[in-house]
Amino acid sequence: MLGRPATETQITHGWRLWLYVLGALVLLFLILPSLLVVPLSFSDSRYLAFPPPGWSTRWYEAYFGAVEWRDATRTSFVAATLTMVVSTVLGTLAAYSLHVSQSKLMRVLYATFMLPLIIPGILIAIGIFLLFARLGLNNTLTGIVLAHSVMAIPLVVITVASGLKSYDLTQEMVARSLGASRPRAFLTVTLPQIRISVISGALLAFITSLDEVVISLFIAGGENATLTRRMFNALRDEIDPTIAAVSTLLIVLSVVLLGLMQMLQRRATTAGSTAAKTGA
Amino acid sequence: MASLPISIRGISKRYGVFTALDGVDLEIASGEFITLLGPSGSGKTTLLMVLAGFIRPDGGSVRFGDRDVSLTPPHQRDVGMVFQNYALFPHMTVAGNVAYPLKLRGIPKAETVRRVEAALELVQLGGLGERRVDQLSGGQRQRVALARAIVFEPRILLMDEPLSALDKKLREQMQIEVRHLHQRLGMTTVYVTHDQREALTMSDRIAVIDGGRFRQIGLPRDIYERPRSRFIAEFIGESQFLPVELRDGRAWLGARALLVDGTPTTGGGPHLLVVRPEKLAVLGAGEGEGLNVFDGTVTEVVYQGESSLIYVTLQTGGEIAVRRPARSADATIAEVGRPIRLGLAPGDAVIVPAQAGR
Amino acid sequence: MTEATIGTAASLHAEGDANAGAYRATARREQRWLGALAWPGLVLIGIVALAPIGWLSWMSFLDTDGFTLEHYRRLLDDNYMQTLKTTFEISFLVTAISVLLGYPLAYLIAEVRPRLGAFLLLLVLFPVWTSLLVRCYAWLVILQRRGVVNTWLQDAGLIEAPLRLMHNFTGTTIGMLHIMLPFMVLPLYASMRSIDRDYLRAAANLGASPVRAFWQVFVPLSLPGLFAGIVIVFVLCLGFYVTPALLGGGRVYMWSMQIERNVTYHADWGAASALGVVLLALTLAILWAIGRVIGFDRIVGSK
């Protein structure tokens, strides 16, 4: 087995063993830590002993039982959902506009949309803090949604723009020749065909908002504290194993969302080859 | 189906320094099948897009019947359009695609179903409504695109090289089907292609376009038999040229005056005699009365299946080729090295200006 | 012969010229409507993210007495310089290690069968989709004084006193490495996948051993992805806040933490904004420099 060639240049698996081992180790490095948290959340010990001395669900009970955790969770999910809606709509329209418009200005504007990704997060955070202090938006849900949307919109734009690149705009021209106005053509012909990109962008927006830490530290406090803020403070102050329970639930959510994204990607590639055949 | 005449006046379109359309005019009769024929970049597709409303010209006007549609947006022009790559909606079934324009117009469901099925019958795809687009062959997709473009009974149909993606046999079959469809439905049809054979097969009239201008507009036969310029002679059919001079109202090939129908009226300067290979006759001894006769020697015979191309070096210099349909008795007529006599009827002798500018 | 309408007739064109202006107007209007679709997003980003930064930049030059460069001058003080040094140290270190670990991994994923590669890529993506805080927590659990590693080593009798792996430089570096590694692997992988294998076949055919072909053909062709990865990771490290704040134990002071402290602790907006402006300028300079070398689309695209 080790003597079998792995490449066209007759390098064997044996020669490459070090590569396989190194790769496996790095992958373990990436995966294990998060996974370690899961069994820990079922430990009945207050101390982070591993393997846990006993099993219990007390930390989950602590999580669901505590008002602050529940409120924080609700705030985070509501904010994430609203952010998802706002940024998907604004981002999709922007991506469409940038794609279809012929003006040179639009190319420059595309770069502007990318700025929230390029500018260091801490700087954006204190800037928003300053602005919201003036506008009285600190510690409000509206403020959180606006701030998170600003961070999510660029991701939606990138996702939808790349989906539009592999989409044949002639379809819209055809629809218009058949009697559809531009908005109608977009809604009935283009949107259904880029829906995978749009949904992917929406999922990205959701998770971006849910996991957002730095900005939330500044503007998501008081009774509108987000889950991330509570977790951050909890991690800073003392390592309460309740965090393990929260973490496990978040990991499960991540896996589900990642799985959804992968399913969508797979449908996108099969749909892509269909579209290629349709265009003949 | 009713139809509308189209009036194109002074349409021009420039992209930076490039002129796509240079103030073109064209009157298309109601119910006519006219083909815009030209090479790539000639402006034919641009003009079609102007008619459809997708390209806004820099100047000029377009009328459908007595309605000025110059500023009408595409979705209000009510023309049917078939694109080069069919552009069928992959997320709808065949019936869904064809029903789309009817839905946009608010036609009630029952009638939509009826008309969709009728349209599919017309293009010989009856009963295939529930198929998905990716289950169809290229030819079938083209028919669906056609059905979709006519189901709402437009009075004008625009077609942008719709058959260019099909293989030869299918293309020739579809050309006839499209022609039949036009004869049945009778709407004014503007067809764009670079394939001159296609144009000759299908059209009531052909408008040859190049460099953003119409070079010749007329019946297919007239364009083929009486090209007005070297470009048109070369673009349509096979042609070869011999230099002639116009003097005293006659065309002179060297020292010999040619027999030509009608008097060449084009101005001075060098001219060319257009000789189509199939117009030359191989003359036996004593034949040639009333014809332009060329003597020469056979240099090469190229067998091409249904016909052969015989290359001849003329006594007066220059080379010419004659195309002969293949028949079993031909074996002795053309042998390399043998002398040969060719005849060109006056009616087939066309004189065009020699300048490269078209 | 049919009548042919070639050429121009002045009378027919009179109405056409009148249209020219109308054509331009409708074209402009349509362009404006299309452009308008992007405005809501732009306005939001402009107001919420960009305007405040402009404001901050403005503030960095202001004092109670007016225009001043005092805030920038103070950046040259020892403690700020130390922060700067630490920030660069960690950033360089994390970037270097992610190259060393990330390149082989990316290479492995690009070399195996596509289906296995897709699965491995999923494993790389998994931490990216996991919350940052969850990952920091995981490292705290593993590396802290009474964490998993120390407990095991002590129980196994390998060490007596617990190793100091957390709440210090080491812990911060490991934590940040964990965050940054996928951002190195992904662009590298994308770049490697697009290398035409024919180049390597040609090299072999011309006489290069597999090792030489790798260093002389493959690696140079993978450089765009490598540069993109290096830039992304380095720039992210420079401005990173969460991991050093949680895993540094107060001993590892990064630029971003300095900014935060100036805002929340000292309410010294002048210092905070000056620090922020410098950080931003540095980030943009690095991006611009690399963008000149390998093209801007690659950097943004690979995110």
Do the chains contact at B10 and C26, CB–CB below 8 Å? no
Percent of chain A whose pLDDT exceeds 90: 46
Residue A51: is the preceding peptide bond cis (ω within 30°)?
A: yes
pLDDT of amino acid C288? 86
From the CA of C12, how many Å to the nearest CA of chain A?
A: 28
Which chains does A contact via 3+ CB–CB distances below 8 A? B, C
pLDDT at position C180: 95
Instruction: Estimate to the nearest angstrom the gap between the alpha carbon of A263 and the chain centroid.
Output: 15
pLDDT score, position B1: 60
pLDDT at A273 over 60: no
The answer to whether C281 contacts chain A (CB < 8 Å) is: no
Residues of chain B with C-beta less than 8 angstroms from the C-beta of A177: 52, 54, 74-75, 77, 79-81, 149, 158
Q: A183-187, A267-271, C153-157: which range is least confident on average?
A: A267-271
Instruction: Name every chain C residue with its beta carbon within 8 A of the beta carbon of A112.
Output: 42, 45-46, 50
- pLDDT confidence band for C301 (50 / 70 / 90): very low
Nearest CA in chain B to C3: B218
* Residue B330 pLDDT level (bands cut at 50, 70, 90): low
Q: Does B205 sit within 8 Å of C1, measured CB to CB? A: no
Name the average pLDDT for chain B: 88
Q: What is the mean pLDDT of residues B142-156?
A: 92
> Cα–Cα–Cα angle for B86, B89, B94, nearest 5°?
90
Using CA atoms of C24, C27, C29, C32 in order, give the dihedral in degrees to the nearest 10.
-120
Give the residue from B81, B86, B91 with the most A CB atoms within 10 Å of its CB, the best one to mutate.
B91
pLDDT classification of C4: cutoffs 50, 70, 90: very low
Confidence bin at B331 (pLDDT 50/70/90): low
Which ipTM was obtained for this model? 0.85
Among B109, B114, B185, B110, smallest CA distance to B146 is for B185
Q: Return the SS3 of C172.
A: helix
Residues in contact with A218: Cβ distance below 8 Å, sequence separation at least 6, in sequence order: A125, A126, A128, A129, A138, C263
Q: What are phi and psi of A66, to 5 degrees?
A: -80, 130
Percent of chain A with pLDDT over 70: 91
Q: CA angle, B329 as apex, B328 and B332 as ends, to 5°?
A: 120
The rounded distance, in Å, linking the Cα atoms of B288 and B295 is: 11
B219 touches chain A (CB under 8 A): no
Q: How far apart are CA C93 and CA C104, in angstroms?
A: 18
Give the Cα separation of A83 and A95 in Å (integer). 17
Could you read off the pLDDT of B24-78 as tens digits, one per residue?
Answer: 999 999 999 999 999 998 999 999 999 999 899 999 999 999 999 998 888 888 8
> Residue B13: beta bridge partners?
B21
Distance, CA of B73 to CA of B18 (rounded, Å) = 25
How confident is the model over C192-211, as pLDDT tens digits? 988 888 888 888 878 788 88
Cα–Cα distance measured from residue A127 to residue A146, given in angstroms and rounded to the nearest whole number: 13
Q: pLDDT tens across B224-241, in order?
A: 999 988 899 999 988 899
According to the model, what pLDDT value does residue B165 have? 85
CB count, 10 Å around CB of A219?
24
CA distances, B198 to each of B35, B184, B195, B206, B210 (Å): 9, 19, 5, 11, 17
CB contact under 8 Å between B56 and C8, yes or no, is no
- CA gap B333, B94 in Å, rounded: 57
* B100 Cβ under 8 Å from any chain A Cβ: yes
**Helices assigned H by DSSP within chain A:** 17-41, 58-65, 67-100, 104-118, 121-135, 141-165, 170-177, 182-185, 191-193, 195-211, 214-219, 227-237, 242-279
B134 and A175 within 8 Å at the Cβ level: the answer is: no
Between B267 and A115, whose confidence is greater? A115
Work out the mean pLDDT of chain A and round it to a whole number. 86
What integer is the mean pLDDT of B248-260? 79
The span from the CA of B110 to the CA of C200, in Å, is 63
The pLDDT value given to residue B332: 59
Supply the pLDDT for residue B97: 92
Would you say the C-alpha torsion A179, A184, A188, A193 has a positive or negative sign? Answer: positive
pLDDT band at B215 (very low <50, low <70, confident <90, very high): very high
User: What is the three-class DSSP state of A212?
Assistant: coil
How would you classify the pairing of strands B33-37 and B188-193?
parallel
Q: How many CB atoms lie within 10 A of CB A169?
A: 12
pLDDT of residue C299: 46
Question: How far is it, in rounded angstroms, from Cα C51 to Cα A228?
Answer: 26
CA distance B343 to B324: 13
- Please report the beta strands in chain B, taking only residues with DSSP state E, as ranges in sequence order: 6-15, 18-28, 33-37, 59-64, 67-68, 80-82, 156-160, 188-193, 205-210, 213-218, 240-247, 250-253, 256-257, 271-275, 281-283, 292-303, 307-314, 319-325, 339-344, 350-353
Q: In the predicted model, is pLDDT for residue C17 greater than 50?
A: yes
Side-chain-side CA neighbours of residue C255 (13 Å) = 29
Alpha-carbon distance of A187 to A83, in angstroms, equals 22
Distance CA A222, CA A79 (A): 15
C55 — phi, psi (to 5°)?
A: -60, -45
**What is the spatial distance between Cα B130 and Cα B144, in angstroms, rounded to a whole number?**
12
Mean pLDDT of A118-124: 91
pLDDT digits (tens, 9 = 90+) for A54-104: 888 888 888 888 888 999 999 999 999 999 999 999 999 999 998 888 667
CB contact under 8 Å between B83 and A174, yes or no, is yes
Average pLDDT over residues A153-170: 90
Cross-chain Cβ contact A179/B85 below 8 Å = no
pLDDT tens by residue, C76-104? 888 888 889 999 999 999 999 999 999 99
Residue C149: Cβ within 10 Å count: 18
C43: tokens are 């306005």
- Residue B266 pLDDT: 62
Residues B290, B259: contact at Cβ < 8 Å? yes
Which residues make beta-bridge pairs with B62?
B8
Q: Poorest-confidence range of A47-51, A242-246, C34-38, C238-242? A: A47-51
A164 touches chain C (CB under 8 A): no
The Cα–Cα gap between A136 and A142 comes to 10
Instruction: Give the model's confidence band at C3: pLDDT under 50 very low, under 70 low, under 90 confident, else very high.
Output: very low
Comparing A268 with C208, which gets the higher pLDDT? Answer: C208
| Better-predicted residue by pLDDT, C301 or B74 | B74
Q: Is the pLDDT of residue B207 over 60?
A: yes
Structure confidence at residue C156 (pLDDT): 82
Task: Report the distance separating Cα C26 and Cα B157, nearest Å.
Answer: 25
Choose among B26, B56, B59: nearest Cβ to C26: B56
How many alpha carbons lie under 13 Å from residue B148 in its C-beta half-sphere? 35
- Residue to mutate among C3, C17, C19, C28, with most B CBs inside 10 A, is C19
Contact C302, C187 (CB under 8 A): yes
What the block records as the tokens of A136 is: 């009285």
Mean pLDDT throughout B79-102?
89
**Closest CA relative to residue A38, chosen from A203, A243, A257:** A243
d(CA C89, CA C78): 16
Whether the predicted pLDDT of C297 surpasses 60:
no
Question: Residue A279 — pLDDT band, cuts 50, 70, 90?
Answer: very low
Nearest to A269 by CA among A197, A161, A205: A197
Six token digits for residue B68: 């000025």
Quick check: C178 and C139 in contact, CB under 8 A?
yes
Return the structure tokens found at A35.
């996974």
- Predicted confidence at residue A264, as pLDDT, reads 86
Question: What is the model's pLDDT at position C178?
Answer: 95
pLDDT, greater one: A105 or C215:
C215
C11 contacts on B by Cβ (under 8 Å): none
Q: Pick C241's closest partner by Cβ from A26, A96, A214.
A: A214
